[in-house]
Amino acid sequence: MTKDEVSTIAVKWAAEEGWNPGLHDAICFYNTDTSGFFLGLINDEPIACISAVAYDNEFGFMGFYIVRPEYRSKGYGIKIWNTAIDYLKTQNIGLDGVIEQQPNYKKSGFSLAYNNIRYEGKSFRTNDTFPEIVPASEVSFAELLHYDSELFPVTRPAFLKCWFDMPDSHSLAAVVDGKFSGYCIIRKCLKGYKFGPLFADNNVLAEKLFVSANNLIEKDSAVYLDTPEINKDAVALALKYGMSKVFETARMYTKQQPDIDISKVFGVTTFELG
């Protein structure tokens, strides 16, 4: 796919599937691996798409696996799926798949790590301020990148630079006694706003980041938080603020589950790129 096709086809189809992509996701997704987006055509008509983003030689992530409804169950999906698998044949591949497709993913060598849950709620405003929560622009990118690399399978500087510069988004960092201790980004989507990621050393800082981010957007917007189900503090945070479960995915990998402290992952970055 070209950069324009990621926006006009993959993201558009994702929106039609109800996945509610961010308004400016496409450029950051595409720039992470410009060769990692594939389109299936019949007589020059796009009928299927998939992404297989190689972060480096060790790790890749698959997403945007969509076949147009009228072409499903005809064998086209497996063709573009196999193209993506072949593109990432040396990497440990991750994905967030719909639960009912989990048996099919297992046939391609994927194993379940845990489920992620999408929670939906309403944004709110408070008068709370927290001295340890600051705009992410006030901390060095090197500090942020180091922290992120401990909670994501690989270091991802190109993606994060774009992600932090995204229009219609807000980014915050937690700094405790001079130590970088968490960060979050909240971005505008077709409907409301999504957190992604929300990383923090503990549930207290995660909540302060969550509240502070809500204070930066308009009240009563739809807000989404994608949480690892096995992080009980993350689930508790969503429930504390009246959020409801609307969607669930199976986080799966082809090789080993990355050595990440999930207790610090309160919100995953995206279901499309991990």
pLDDT (tens digit per residue) in 245-263:
999 999 999 999 999 999 9
Domains defined for the chain, CATH in brackets? 3-114 (3.40.630.30), 119-267 (3.40.630.90)
Distances (CA, A) of 39 to 61, 74, 77, 149: 17, 16, 11, 30
Mean pLDDT value across residues 3-28: 95
Q: What is the pLDDT of residue 243?
A: 98
Percentage, residues of the chain above pLDDT 70: 100
Mean pLDDT value across residues 23-34: 96
Return the H-helix or E-strand segment holding 49: strand 45-54
Distance of alpha carbon 155 from alpha carbon 164, whole angstroms:
15
Distance of alpha carbon 146 from alpha carbon 148, whole angstroms:
5
Question: For residue 140, what are its two tokens?
Answer: 């060095």
Alpha-carbon dihedral sign for residues 144, 148, 154, 158: negative
